[in-house]
């Protein structure tokens, strides 16, 4: 294979079930904030052992609503991992608070470090956001203890970790993503779970301008008006997105299991490739196995490797440029040094991982990587 990459890093799995669900919504002529959204919320909550959930139009808006509902604002600080998508920190900035970016545990375990978080705490710290990188869930008990010890709110950025495979919710609030490259997708969308029903109700109101009733509720109640008792936002999910979510959720357990099988295959073939290549998170559980990150040998020209794999028909990408090194954050929060995150991000390469991938393709990807890096071959029969 040459030219455009034919094995993609991520692919949504969509088919006739999703098309039929969208068709039903279109034929119903009710396309926003109706029965589909409510059904999706209830089903998603049940899947994660919760009583209820609030659907939103993105994980980013969900994170913003979470911080807003906890009354986090100016002069407050929120501890955030720098190894994450920029939205994790942006949501803190939206509230007027300061994101305090911290390091990861190690190259092998690229999850937010408790030791780094301890050092970052101040008398202004109000919350910590833990991000389940690659779908690998952080140590729930350790982070609950940390939050309790410092009197902090604990928020889970669970954009990478979804479904029963990730285990129970343990934070004050957990926020999920359904972007097109996630384990399940609604094209765009997110979900919020919080054990406290009062907190959840506050976020439900805030996602729709702080209004006291929805269009659907006013229609069925024959009421013509509403009130606004708090500041809100336009973070609603449409019926079309929710219809996709209902179908995708029904298939999530099986697809997460497929991801697990594919990750195990990758780990078997890649663990034999020495000369400095690292496969993080081997054996880490629980995990939803969202992406497959590897670390190239130190000093490797990553751009050359990505180009060579692309020429062989294999797409790769990077997760993530450290937030503290992005221009907007570097200009406003200068002097941040996070050596483990920086080395990880400099060497990281994300390989294809999605349910459409076959074991044969994993073998082909491994062989191509070995050839490009001149690594040791995998012993026969290891895949």
Active-site residue set: 182
Burial class (CB in 10 A: 0-12, 13-18, 19+), 129: buried
Query: 192 and 52 in contact (C-beta within 8 Å)?
Result: no
Query: 237 and 33 in contact (C-beta within 8 Å)?
Result: yes
Bridge partners of residue 127, in order along the sequence: 78, 153
DSSP string, 173-194: EEEEE-BTTSSS--BS-EEEE-
Instruction: Tell me how far apart the alpha carbons of residues 294 and 291 are, in angstroms, rounded to a whole number.
Output: 10
Angle subtended at Cα 85 by Cα 79 and Cα 91, rounded to the nearest 5 degrees:
55
DSSP string, 231-246: ---B-PPBHHHHHHHH
User: If we measure between CA atoms, which residue out of 101, 192, 174 comes closest to residue 137?
Assistant: 174
User: If we measure between CA atoms, which residue out of 260, 369, 261 comes closest to residue 316?
Assistant: 369
Instruction: Tell me how far apart the alpha carbons of residues 270 and 363 are, in angstroms, rounded to a whole number.
Output: 10
User: If we measure between CA atoms, which residue out of 234, 196, 243 comes closest to residue 28?
Assistant: 243
User: If we measure between CA atoms, which residue out of 122, 163, 117 comes closest to residue 139?
Assistant: 117
DSSP string, 116-150: HHHHH--TTEEEEEEE-GGGB---HHHHHHHHHHH
């Amino acid at each position: 294979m040459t030219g455009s990459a034919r094995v993609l890093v991520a692919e949504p799995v969509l088919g006739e079930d999703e098309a039929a669900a969208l068709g039903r919504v279109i034929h119903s002529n009710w396309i926003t904030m109706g029965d589909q959204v409510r059904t999706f919320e209830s089903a998603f909550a049940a899947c994660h052992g919760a009583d209820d959930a609030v659907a939103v139009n993105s994980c980013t808006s969900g994170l913003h609503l979470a911080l807003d509902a906890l009354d986090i604002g100016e002069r407050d600080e929120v501890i955030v991992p720098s190894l994450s998508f920029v939205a994790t920190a942006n949501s803190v900035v939206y509230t007027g608070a300061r994101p305090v970016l911290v390091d990861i545990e190690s190259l092998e375990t690229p999850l937010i470090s408790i030791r780094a978080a301890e050092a970052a705490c101040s008398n202004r710290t109000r919350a910590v956001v833990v991000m389940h990188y690659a779908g690998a869930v952080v140590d729930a008990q350790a982070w609950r203890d940390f939050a309790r010890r410092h009197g902090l709110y604990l928020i889970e950025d669970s954009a990478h970790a979804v479904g029963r495979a990730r285990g129970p919710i343990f934070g004050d609030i957990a926020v999920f993503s359904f972007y097109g490259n996630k384990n399940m997708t609604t094209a765009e969308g997110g979900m919020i779970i919080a054990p406290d029903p009062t907190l959840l109700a506050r976020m439900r109101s805030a996602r729709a301008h702080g209004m006291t009733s929805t269009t659907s509720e006013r229609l069925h109640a024959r009421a013509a008006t509403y009130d606004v008792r708090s500041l809100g936002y336009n973070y609603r999910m449409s019926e079309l997105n929710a219809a996709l979510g209902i179908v995708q959720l029904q298939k999530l357990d099986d697809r997460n299991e497929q991801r697990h099988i594919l990750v195990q295959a990758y780990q078997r073939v890649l663990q034999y490739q020495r000369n400095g290549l690292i496969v993080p998170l081997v054996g880490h559980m629980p995990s939803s196995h969202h992406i497959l990150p590897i670390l190239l040998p130190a000093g490797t020209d990553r751009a050359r490797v990505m180009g060579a794999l692309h020429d062989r028909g294999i797409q790769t990408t990077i997760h993530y440029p450290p937030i503290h090194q992005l221009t907007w954050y570097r200009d406003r929060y200068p002097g941040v040094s996070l050596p483990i995150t920086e080395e990880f991000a400099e060497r990281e390469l994300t390989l294809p991982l999605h349910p459409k991938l076959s074991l044969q393709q994993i073998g082909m990807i491994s062989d191509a990587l070995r050839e490009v890096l001149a690594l040791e071959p995998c012993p026969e029969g290891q895949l």
